[in-house]
A and B are shown apart, each in its own frame.
Chain A
Amino acid sequence: MNQVDTSPNAIPNVNLRQVGKNKPRNDSPTKVYGKAIYAGDLIMDDMLFAKVLHSDRACADIKSIDVSVAKTLPGVHSVLTADDLPATNAVMTDMPGQVGGGTKNTKQPILAKERVRFYGEPIALVAAESYELAQRALDLIVVDYEDTEGVYDAFDAQKPDAPIVYGNDNIVAAYKVRKGDIEKGFQEADFVLENTYSSQYQEQAFLEPEAAVAWVDEHDILNIRSSTQVVEHFRAVADALGMPHNKVHLQAPYVGGGFGGKEVMTIEVWLALLAMDAQRPVKLKQTRENSFISHGPRHPFTITHKTGVTKDGKITAAKITLTSDAGAYAKLSPYILLYATVGATGPYRVDNLWIDSTSAATNNLPTCAYRGFGTMQATTACEAQMEELSKLIGLDSLEFRRKNFIQTGDPNATGQIIRSAVWSDQCATKAREALGDKPKSTEHTVYGHGLACYQQSYGRIRWMKDTSESWVGLEMDGTLIVRCAVTDIGAGQMSALAQIAGEVLGVPMEEITVYFGDGHVNPLAGTSTASRALYMTGKATELAAKNVRNNLFECMAEYFDVRPEELDLGDSKVFVQDNPERCMSVKDMAKHCAAQGVHRHSLEIYRAPPSEGLDPETGQGEVFPDFTYGAHAATVAVDTDTGEVTVIKSVGAHDVGQSINRQAVEGQIEGSALMGQGFALSEELILEKGVLKNGSFSEYLIPTSEDVPEIESIILESRSGLGPFGSKGIGEPVFSPVAASIVNAVADAIGTRIHHLPLTPEKVLTAINEEKTKEAAE
């Protein structure tokens, strides 16, 4: 279903041999046969097992912590509280990875000392001969708390008399955008519509809870093998322990999902402290219940849109306020707020724009990175508003969107000119077509169609000067090796590099060995976050492979007596393009070039395009390298007597630039269809005065196999992205519009809109009943 390229900036259609083809991923066999080793699988001699004492209250002073009895328990080797830690007792919680600067240096205590600020805050660490013993030791630790007054709402937190969570005030971050003339814009409008939308906490719910093993080796290097999205956490571990960076070695084996929950450090620093103290290997596998409180869930947002439109459907002005609950520590909240601010207007051009956004500290769970990273929450609100606006002016909702879509060359909310293809229209049209006709209502059931579009960045904030490195080498026997410390969090990061290097050097991807996830053996590649892994590490690998190719061609051109540009590589052969009979196997080429002393390896760096930040008064500037555009559409059935919603069909249509591995792209679209469905319908962490009430999979309801609708993936390729072969990032983009499309479908089905997510059966039934009452009154 590929589109014909219409973008002015697209790379010409190249003849690809592997990239974009429907090939199984390189990591599939080891995972299917159960051979893949995850962090929690490692067993070492003399290994101890760790447990963490988490606070069972949200806001309290700690009067004393008594670990004396716990320490005497036979088989317990280490019991640590804040008093045992380096005096700084702080761990970096800011943007990790290969970012060069421009961060806010957010930190949080490793262990609570005089005060706990959220439910689940770690207080003490134990390492013992077994998990049962460690748990027994935890039970013997006596913490004397004195509850204090907390604040549990992002709006209450901004009131003058609110208790201060930490620092001088509860404002964690704030942004504003001032563009055009907002007053004039509203004057030009025929209609003005104002609505407030709010969304809930969502848990990442990765398959593999946090797990790691730490040990000190014979060279006094502290090793940590961890389930993380970020091997560069070795720096933060070293800083927290007061060690040199080169004495901490962090490896990430295959990771059972991250979704942002393993972006900021989770359990690594605890294990580092225990392993250093006990001088024995220490392992920790979080239980599912503790996992819920060991990373930050998605930020709840409250977003108010006031939009002016003309009667023929042109947006003339938008005034938007966004408020997020950052919880008890900042973590990545400032950046997530920035993403939401940039994403507040979605993929639409708004020339008269006023945005105020605020993130406030509370004594709720600290919130953090989660696929979509603020943009998703902003998209969900924006797309609800688009649907309501089209209803107000009586235009078809896609027709209305078409009148306002950003086009290539247009500025977005922060004035950044979009340079890649913008295929919002093509994607939305295809997604909606794929839904087909809406089924007819029956006795208990009504049906609805919903659509949502988006603008989601890929790559990290530009003033952080993100880089990624990769090494590609041709062995003497003609086999290829890629070394790149990208973490493989399940999306096929490793396999994609084989496919890219194989494309450039004409070797089948399944014959390529990729060393990944180990930042002290392989070149550092940065995080598998921000939809940047493929974009950045893929680009670095493509550049490195091209260097090798150029070196080889220089030598082989002499051999064939042609110019280098007359050569090509494919099917494990080098050949003259005009006369493919003149060829040599890659194996023989490697031998020949080695004999000539040709440099068959290359280490290359890819630097994301930089910028120097935003104007603080106008919010104008270049924030991201580029954006992905697309659409999601859904058909739902709503039971009008119980309020149950069933998603029947879910369609993602996205311009991915260029798919590298088709199966991986489809996997992302299908996975996001369910993750977004959970957010729209059933997932919500419930906090009462900061205390988590449903921290288990029996009460926190992610979709199961029984909830899976028919899912269709439509992949469009403009080849206009910044990534390898013109690809764009897709991990987050394909997720961002899903919930909005389902929410819009429910509104279409029941004829009224619910403004607070998720749409539980109870909320839906209440809305249906209210609508009936209203209709009866009219």
Chain B
Amino acid sequence: MLAYEQLDFAGDCVMNYARPDGMEDALNLLADRSWVVLAGGTDFYPAQGDRPLTQPIMDISALEQLRGIREDDEYWHIGGLTTWADIAASALPPAFDALKLAAREVGSVQIQNAGTVAGNLCNASPAADGVPPLLVVDAEVELRSASGVRTLPLSEFITGNRKTARRRDELLVSVRAPKASCAGQSHFLKLGSRRYLVISIAMAAVRLQATDAATVASSGIAAGACSEVATRLPALEADIAGAALDASLPGRIGPVHFKDLSPINDIRGTADYRLEAVEELVRRAIGCCVEKL
């Protein structure tokens, strides 16, 4: 067992801090007690403000094996510590163009250099930019603990606003997408009250795959910031299956395809506006994919 450091501030502020450099050490520590897992820190530090750190913190930034993108016969693998800047600069296929566009929308460039894919998913904000583009490639998350590994579809991993299925002894080590779902072209659009550095009012990710006859072979379409958890739109995907891939495609989209969304009214926008906007975003994202195919 790796010893961890106890930092003693003046007075009675005490916290535990660990920065394991091996996976086994990290998982053993996690099995031992509850930790706040710190990766890029881009959500953690702003929320902390000037408050003293009192909770045990495990900084996983030394686990370098968790950073990077690789492929095997079946999957594309994105390590949990892969940053948004890594994603944007990667050679992932066009089905990940949506993810790359989202990577350029996560906070500022500084945030993109530090913030990680795993952090974005584990933070589980309803407005997380990274989630819809991963949903459209049927992404799964790999959760590792001292007692083993399990894999969950992303759609089951995030269970609610700021809630995930991660057990406290688990690390999200990687995100993977089956290669069968990584075909075709993709696009991502988000709407905010300014161009950049803005929390989404609504967002849309679309992936379209074409048949030789220029019809829709398969699709993945997801909406973000319009429900507690970003979600695929299966009714819409079913309706456009086999449709001609031309300028008429966006016209097939209607309010009926968005009736299962449950957006909220908040300071960024009303539920009605979100529904109206996300429909338009999906229509445009589909149009962009059609142009690329």
Task: Enumerate chain A interface residues (CB-CB to B < 8 A).
Answer: 51, 73-75, 129-136, 139, 287, 289, 641-644, 646, 681-682, 686, 693-694, 698-699, 701, 703-707, 760-762, 765-766
Contacts and interface: CB of A to CB of B under 8 A. Distances in A.
Interface residues of B, number: 29
Given A74-B10, A132-B13, A706 B49 contact: no
A49 B65 CA distance: 41
Given A136-B13, A641-B280, A762-B273, A704 B197 contact: yes
A221 B218 CA distance: 77
A289 B47 CA distance: 11
B238 interface: no
Interface string B176-207: 00000000000000011111111101000000
Given A642-B280, A762-B273, A765-B276, A132 B52 contact: yes
Contacts of B198: 701
B267 A73 contact: no
Nearest to A130: B10
Nearest to B274: A762
A641 B278 CA distance: 10
Top 10 nearest A-B pairs by Cβ distance? A706-B196, A706-B195, A132-B52, A762-B273, A682-B193, A641-B280, A75-B10, A135-B50, A131-B50, A704-B196
Nearest to B196: A706
B159 interface: no
B195 A704 contact: yes
A129 B193 contact: no
B51 interface: yes
Nearest to B52: A132
Nearest to B197: A704
B267 A699 contact: yes
Given A682-B194, A699-B199, 17 more contacts: A73-B12, A130-B10, A131-B50, A132-B52, A133-B11, A133-B52, A134-B50, A136-B11, A136-B13, A287-B50, A289-B49, A686-B267, A701-B193, A703-B194, A704-B194, A762-B201, A765-B277
A646 B199 CA distance: 18
Given A132-B50, A135-B52, A701 B280 contact: no
B203 to A, nearest CB: 12
B270 interface: yes
Contact of B10 (A133, A643, A765, A766): A133
Contacts of B49: 135, 287, 289
B11 A707 contact: no
A75 B280 contact: no
A762 B11 contact: no
B153 interface: no
Interface in B117-138: none
A644 B277 CA distance: 10
Interface of B: 9-13, 46, 49-52, 191-199, 201, 267-270, 273, 276-277, 280-281
A289 B46 CA distance: 11
A698 B198 CA distance: 7
B193 A681 contact: yes
Contacts of B9: 130, 132-133
Contacts of B280: 641-642
A663 B192 CA distance: 33
B201 A761 contact: yes
A760 B49 CA distance: 29
A707 B196 CA distance: 8
B270 A762 contact: yes
A694 B267 contact: yes
B10 A129 contact: yes
A693 B195 contact: no
Contacts of B193: 681-682, 701, 760-761
A761 B196 CA distance: 15
B196 A74 contact: no
A129 B191 CA distance: 45
Nearest to B192: A701
A701 B194 contact: yes
A603 B31 CA distance: 75
Contacts of A693: 267
A686 B52 CA distance: 29
30 contacts: A130-B9, A131-B50, A132-B9, A132-B52, A133-B11, A133-B13, A136-B11, A136-B52, A287-B49, A642-B191, A646-B195, A682-B194, A686-B267, A694-B267, A698-B199, A699-B267, A699-B268, A701-B198, A704-B194, A704-B197, A705-B196, A707-B196, A760-B193, A761-B193, A761-B273, A761-B277, A762-B201, A762-B270, A762-B273, A765-B276
Contact of A73 (B11, B46, B199, B268): B11
A682 to B, nearest CB: 4
B282 to A, nearest CB: 12
A707 B192 CA distance: 12
B191 A644 contact: yes
A335 B196 CA distance: 37
B51 A132 contact: yes
Contacts of A289: 49
A90 to B, nearest CB: 29
B257 to A, nearest CB: 16
A699 B199 CA distance: 7
A318 to B, nearest CB: 34
Nearest to B195: A706
A765 B273 contact: yes
Given A132-B52, A693-B267, A704-B196, A761 B191 contact: yes
B7 to A, nearest CB: 11
B110 to A, nearest CB: 13
A698 B195 CA distance: 13
Q: Select the residue from B9, B10, B12, B51 with max chain A CB neighbours within 10 A.
A: B10
A763 to B, nearest CB: 9
A121 B225 CA distance: 34
Nearest to A694: B267
A51 B49 CA distance: 12
A289 B280 CA distance: 34
Contacts of B199: 698-699
A331 to B, nearest CB: 26
Given A129-B10, A699-B267, A762-B273, A707 B195 contact: yes
B42 to A, nearest CB: 11
